[in-house]
Structure 1
Amino acid sequence: MADPITLEVFSDYVCPWCYLGDNRVKQLKENYDVTIKLVHFPLHPETPAEGRTLADMFGTGPEEIAQKNARMQGLMQAEGLPFKDRSHTYNSRLAQEVGKWAETQPGGDAIHDKFFAAYFVDQRNIGDVEVILDIVKAAGLDVDEARKVIEERAFKNAVDADWAKSHQYGVTGVPTFVVAAPDGQLHGLVGAQPLEGLEQLAQAAGAQKKVG
């Protein structure tokens, strides 16, 4: 049997389309023999520690923000995803570094869902250290070790490498999905693609459909 293909998913925890796309990637993984590799992307790296209102970020008023939230509510409900209206975005850099660390721990991949839920459902500032540590605890990981990771910026270089790969690949928006075909050529899709689009991308890379 051929080895599973690797699907690189460029993403940011504060991106609603990434939250939506993540759900579809899970469905893809249920049906195809694929390995998912999360690549962190700097969506709003200039966001201050206390966060920034969406109205300020988009340069618009409350009515337009309400319309954006209503649209996302409809999309999330169709996917069966919990979602609450957003008013702020937050700096996700430290969360990304902790996410990289978590991947080195048994069962640590679960933290990615926890970060999405903390922001899109619980409306928490995932740039705040204590909030991050609460999420680490909820994921069943070592809080003291995570605090040390944050204080020492132990996974700074790992996230820097992800950001550099985003630049190398020419990624300017997320989610972006990239696979390598059998001939080594890279294929990609941008945006919260429907499941069918992800299946076609996986098939182009030679992914095998699971049996049974």
Structure 2
Amino acid sequence: MVYIIGSTVLLVIFLFCTLRQIVNPSNRTLTLYADYVCPFCYLEQQSLVEYRQSHPNHPLVNWLPYDIRHQKRTTGGFLDTQYDIGYPEQVHTKISKLAQKHDDGTMLSPADVPLVDSLPAQIVSWYIKHEHPNRWFAFTDRIFTALWCNGEDISDTGVLRNIAEESGLNRNAIDIPLKKADAREQVLTQCAEARHAGVGDVPTLIYESRSLHEVTSANKLAEFIHEQG
């Protein structure tokens, strides 16, 4: 009798855990293509933060790097020092309107943000995502804040060290990927693969079989994810 009862309890626990894995979105993945220097990606990050705060069982974020300035790079992957990423007036207007909806008023105007190369930050972020996954979201959020709220140069090693430390990492951890000879090539290859896969702009979010290619509110993001869950 004890054996039967024990077996029944184990079966119930197994079925419960299996069902929870099926219905729990945290076992699923939201793929996000984003570049830190993109203002629309910053705004989407704010919605993503808000969504995660209100949905404890949120899906894991699988960030994939994207390079909005790839056409301005030399063969070695370095930005042309003469590049100009100024936005037309209508784009500034669009950014301003979106910021009123999705930001708390701390976002700088693109004209007040330094023109920096996001590749060093993406290289470090790619490393942290794989080596310290539990610290990655905090790190990537602070990268966006450093550039778009504080106007910091996220290509600067000192800035990246400070952000790593604020994210609960050893500040010197960023030296590992930045000193690896193939790290830059790995990230640039990921960016190229994104373009070859048809990602033409960011932010791009993919969840199961559907995709979004625009800045959304936290509520819209929740609808996008949970209507499929």
- Tell me, yes or no, whether TM beats 0.5: yes
TM-score, normalisation: structure 2: 0.71
CA distance in 2 between partners of 1:163 and 1:188 (Å): 18
* Higher share in helix: 2
* Higher share in strand: 1
* Alignment map for 1:88-127 (pairs within 5 Å): 88-103=114-129, 104-105=131-132, 106-127=134-155
1:17 partner SS:
helix
Instruction: Pick closer, same or farther for the CA change 1:202–1:57 going to 2, 3 Å.
Output: same
Instruction: Pick closer, same or farther for the CA change 1:51–1:71 going to 2, 3 Å.
Output: farther
Deviations 1:162-190 (CA, angstroms, capped at 9, x unpaired): 3144124300100001111xxxxx21110
State the match for 1:183 in structure 2: none
Give the superposed CA RMSD: 2.9
CA distance in 2 between partners of 1:194 and 1:136 (Å): 28
Among 31, 38, 49, the residue aligned to 2:63: 38
CA distance in 2 between partners of 1:75 and 1:20 (Å): 8
Among 138, 142, 158, the residue aligned to 2:166: 138
Long gaps (5+) in structure 2: 1-19
Instruction: Pick closer, same or farther for the CA change 1:115–1:50 going to 2, 3 Å.
Output: farther
Instruction: Pick closer, same or farther for the CA change 1:136–1:49 going to 2, 3 Å.
Output: farther
State the match for 2:48 in structure 1: 25
CA distance in 2 between partners of 1:59 and 1:17 (Å): 12
Deviations 1:102-143 (CA, angstroms, capped at 9, x unpaired): 222242421111110111111122122232223223323222
| Amino acid corresponding to residue 221 of structure 2 in structure 1 | L
Asked whether the equivalents of residues 39 and 110 of structure 2 are also in contact (C-alpha less than 8 Å), the reply is no
Among 130, 154, 159, the residue aligned to 2:187: 159
Cα deviation for residue 72 of structure 1 reads: 3.4
CA distance in 2 between partners of 1:75 and 1:199 (Å): 18
| Amino acid corresponding to residue 99 of structure 1 in structure 2 | S
Q: Figure out how many residues of one structure are paired with residues of the other and give that number.
A: 194
Asked whether the equivalents of residues 8 and 39 of structure 1 are also in contact (C-alpha less than 8 Å), the reply is yes
CA distance in 2 between partners of 1:116 and 1:200 (Å): 24
Instruction: Pick closer, same or farther for the CA change 1:160–1:50 going to 2, 3 Å.
Output: closer
Asked whether the equivalents of residues 41 and 203 of structure 2 are also in contact (C-alpha less than 8 Å), the reply is yes
State percent identity of aligned pairs.
20
Among 107, 110, 119, the residue aligned to 1:83: 107
Instruction: Pick closer, same or farther for the CA change 1:34–1:107 going to 2, 3 Å.
Output: same
TM-score, normalisation: structure 1: 0.76
1:107 partner SS:
helix
